[in-house]
Amino acid sequence: MPGFSFAAMSELTEKLASLQQRLARALETAGDERALEEARAVYLGRSGDVAAIRRSIGRLPAQERPLAGKEINDAVAAMEALLERKREEIASRAIDTALSERIDVTFPAPEPRLGSIHPVRRVIEDACAYFERHGFAVVLGPEVEPDYYNFDALNIPPEHPAREGFDSFWVDETLLLRPHTSPMQIRTMQLHRPPIAIVAPGKCYRRDAVDARHHFQFHQIEGLLVAEGVHFGHLKGMLTGLCRALLGPYQNVRFRPSFFPFTEPSAEVDTTCPKCGGGAAACAMCGGSGWIELGGAGMVHPNVLREVGYDPKRLSGWAFGFGAERLALARYEVDDVRRFIDSDPDLLEQLA
């Protein structure tokens, strides 16, 4: 090739090959990152051997410089590959050393930390299990319901003042997030003929101000029994048994007269404060009353039975609705429902 200096290029190639060999020998004895960096600086640093060779190609004829530059770049790439392989080797050796010093690979591994069932979920499952043992079926339903199932069929017509007590989240003019699980009473009775024995757990939503006893989203456990000869004594016995199954064998239950449009007679249900046992005037959990309110209950209103095609002269039934968080407060002696949703790992692990 005219104008190409074979002597100059041969000399450049030999110099670069010699540098690669010297670098390879230097890396054989490099045992850490510091030695590796020192070798890199000698050969590839700003003042290193390769930099000196780059400066010398200016003395070559112009037509030879591109090929010379390529030769140098190829050599630099090969030398950097040597450095990288040595760096990986040093890193791998460091990991092996650390493992051998700190971990006995023959020792059994620690058991992994597993999650647990949330306290409110545990209360719901245990309550449902209690009713299942007594022949009840567990039913689930939609969280968005028409106002017919939430109100009309439960003896709460549009003009009824009781609707004001359910400050609800409306999706449109007729659909809303259910404020209670009572719609499952109507749905179940419309689909099945008596006898009916169900428990319906689920999420509910109301525009309640958030405090230690209330939240805009909560869980309710609904129960319904309809058959011939059902009376209030059955209701008292089942709810007393539920409280003792969940909270302990010494729980007492009281029924205070109340009003609900879908039951008659109606009652508010309380259970003995598990923290003070009903005897401490300064108890922070029950406010000194000795009782914890759980929810409402009563005998199914005849209008509700008529709505689903049942004969109230032949059939009777009872229903109740308890807040699962209220039961959890009593069971775990927690003083604020917000603590169940604060995702406090220490509290949840303790309750588990």
| Same domain membership, residue 281 and residue 224 | yes
User: CA-CA distances (angstroms) from residue 344 to 76, 317, 330?
Assistant: 56, 41, 19
pLDDT on residue 281: 65
Rg (CA), the chain: 40
Alpha-carbon distance 263 to 240, whole Å? Answer: 19
Residue 273, domain member (yes or no)? yes
pLDDT average per 10 residues of sequence, the chain (352 residues)? 48 82 83 82 82 77 79 85 86 76 72 82 94 95 92 86 75 89 94 94 88 84 95 94 90 91 93 73 72 91 95 95 90 81 79 75
pLDDT on residue 282: 67
pTM of the model: 0.65
Distance from first CA to last CA of the chain, Å, rounded? 85
| Same domain membership, residue 220 and residue 331 | yes
Amino acid at 286: C
pLDDT on residue 1: 35
Residue 281, domain member (yes or no)? yes
- CATH at residue 155: 3.30.930.10
| Same domain membership, residue 125 and residue 89 | no
Could you tell me if 69 and 63 are in contact, meaning their C-beta atoms sit under 8 angstroms apart?
no
| Same domain membership, residue 68 and residue 34 | yes
Question: Pick from 75, 102, 129: which residue ends a domain?
Answer: 102
Residue 107, domain member (yes or no)? no
Range of the domain at 243: 119-351
pLDDT on residue 5: 40
pLDDT on residue 2: 36
| Same domain membership, residue 241 and residue 147 | yes
Question: Pick from 61, 77, 102: which residue ends a domain?
Answer: 102
The residues, any chain, with a CB within 8 Å of residue 311's CB and separated by 6 or more, are 305
| Same domain membership, residue 324 and residue 247 | yes
Residue 113, domain member (yes or no)? no
pLDDT on residue 219: 93
| Same domain membership, residue 127 and residue 53 | no
pLDDT on residue 6: 39
Could you tell me if 168 and 206 are in contact, meaning their C-beta atoms sit under 8 angstroms apart?
yes
Residue 344, domain member (yes or no)? yes
Alpha-carbon distance 130 to 138, whole Å? Answer: 11
Other beta carbons less than 10 A from residue 241's beta carbon: 16
The residues, any chain, with a CB within 8 Å of residue 214's CB and separated by 6 or more, are 208, 337
| Same domain membership, residue 84 and residue 228 | no
The two three-digit tokens of residue 38, written as one number: 């020192």
Domain count along the chain = 2
| Same domain membership, residue 33 and residue 58 | yes
